[in-house]
Each structure stands twice: as structure tokens, then as C-alpha cells.
Amino acid sequence: MEFETEEQLVNLLEKVYSSPRSRWVWIREFNMPNGIADLVGIGLATPAAGRSTLGHIPPQWAYTLHCLPHEESFSLGNVATLANVTMGSARSMLRNFGDSGFCAQIPDSKQWIKTRQPEPVAKKIVAIEAKLRDWRRALYQAAQHVAYASQAWVVLDRSALPSSRRHAHEFADRGIGLAGLSAEGELDIVMQPREKLPRRENRYWQANAEIARRLM
């Protein structure tokens, strides 16, 4: 084995691909409803000000904010229907959207208007599952991350590559990348992932709000 623990593998992977001049940032233990990615790489799209604003939106509400009509009036009931929540929860949403500068209540009216569109924090999200040898579990977990990520990888201890290489077709079928990392930081790529739009737009927006929150 090249590594004693998965944490050592993740530490080296992040170190090798981090650069102070890069617009890429890395987040550990990225928690989403689909599971927790060991490491997520984010190609930043928006400036720091935009990231901070989206970071004030609870991640599970970000998709609702995105879907609200821009510069058109809507009611509390419209928000409740759109988000499939109670009127009380919709009221909390609108209060948050207003405090964050995205929405405003029309004076002398029960109607609201979205004054500003949220922007994605990430132009690209790469989710990574790191394992010493259990490629089957890593493949299953990585396949869950394509709900919000444009690429998903499994990175193993390089000594475990021979056994997983024989099953490269399973990675290809799912569009998941496969690579092995050595203790010297050399990455042996067996399978490149398919790059595509995230499978679920609501998870994509939730991920962007979570990224913004983590970067604040």
C-alpha cells in the first residue's frame, strides 16, 4: 500500500492539485443529500461578492430562489406552491431572500418581486471519492455525485489499481473517472470521466449555495 489511511491520500491529492494562482478551490467532506464527497474541486465563476450573497441562502432554498420569476410579481402562496412547503416556511424563505438582497416586497401590497438573479458560484464542480482499495463502494458513491457535479472521480491507492482496472468498463458505463495516486503524488489515470451537465438542477443549485456558504 502507498498510503496508511484515506486521509493521507486525500491530503496529498489536494496538495498536488492546489495552486495559489489557480481559480480552483478544494472543499473536504462536501455533504449533500446524495452523500458526502471526500473532496470537491470547484472552478470558480463568480467574484467574492456574489459568492458571499448566495452563501446567505440556505442551500435547500437556492433552487426555489433560482426558479422565482425575475422582475415579475408573485405572492407568498406562489412561493409555497413552487417549493412545496407550508405558508409559514414560504414566509421564512421570502424573509431570507429579502434580507439577502434578492427579493423585495412591493410597497402597500402583499406581492413580492425578485430584483436580482442568483448566479452560480461554480462554473465546474468535480467530485472525488478517495479509497485505499474498495473500488466498488467508491464507484457507487461517486455515481451519486453526478446529480450536482459535472465530473465524478474515484481515486484509489495506486497499489489497488490492478484489481479495479479489470472492471474499468463499469466506470465507463457510469461515466466515472478512475485513477490511482502514488505516495510521490503521481496520478495514474485509467479512465477519464464523462463531462456533462449535472443530472439534477435542484441539486446543482443546492451545491452552489453550499459552496458559497463554505467559502464565506
189 within some domain: yes
**Are 210 and 125 members of one domain?**
yes
**Are 95 and 155 members of one domain?**
no
User: DSSP states of the chain as a string?
Assistant: ---SSHHHHHHHHHHHH--TT-SEEEEEEEEETTEEEEEEEEEE-S-HHHHHHHTTS-GGGHHHHHHSPBTSEE-HHHHHHHHT--HHHHHHHHHHHHHTTSEEEPTTSS-EEE-S----SEEEEEEEEEESS-HHHHHHHHHHHTTT-SEEEEEEEGGGHHHHHTTHHHHHHHT-EEEEE-TTS-EEEEEPPPP---S-HHHHHHHHHHHHHHH-
52 within some domain: no
The reported pLDDT for the residue numbered 52 is 72
CATH code for position 180:
3.40.1350
**Are 83 and 129 members of one domain?**
no
96 CB neighbour count, 10 Å cutoff:
16
Q: At what angle do helices 87-99 and 76-83 cross, to 10 degrees?
A: 110
Q: What's the chain's Rg over C-alpha atoms?
A: 20
**Are 25 and 132 members of one domain?**
yes
The pLDDT tens digits of the residues spanning 75-117 come to: 999 999 999 999 999 999 999 999 999 999 999 999 999 999 9
**Are 154 and 200 members of one domain?**
yes
**Are 98 and 134 members of one domain?**
no
Structural domain range at position 68? 58-114
**Are 94 and 128 members of one domain?**
no
The reported pLDDT for the residue numbered 191 is 95
Query: Residue 102 half-sphere exposure, CB side, CA atoms within 13 Å?
Result: 25
**Are 92 and 143 members of one domain?**
no
Asked whether the beta carbons of 211 and 27 are under 8 A apart, the reply is yes
**Are 186 and 85 members of one domain?**
no
**Are 70 and 164 members of one domain?**
no
163 within some domain: yes
**Are 190 and 143 members of one domain?**
yes
51 within some domain: no
Q: Of 67, 85, 114, at which residue does a domain stop?
A: 114
1 within some domain: no
CA–CA dist 176, 135 (Å, integer):
12
Residues of the chain with pLDDT under 70: 20-22, 46-51
Sign of CA dihedral 141, 54, 58, 114: negative
53 within some domain: no
Q: Of 72, 94, 114, at which residue does a domain stop?
A: 114
Q: Of 89, 114, 139, at which residue does a domain stop?
A: 114
**Are 154 and 104 members of one domain?**
no
Query: How many structural domains comprise the chain?
Result: 2
pTM: 0.91
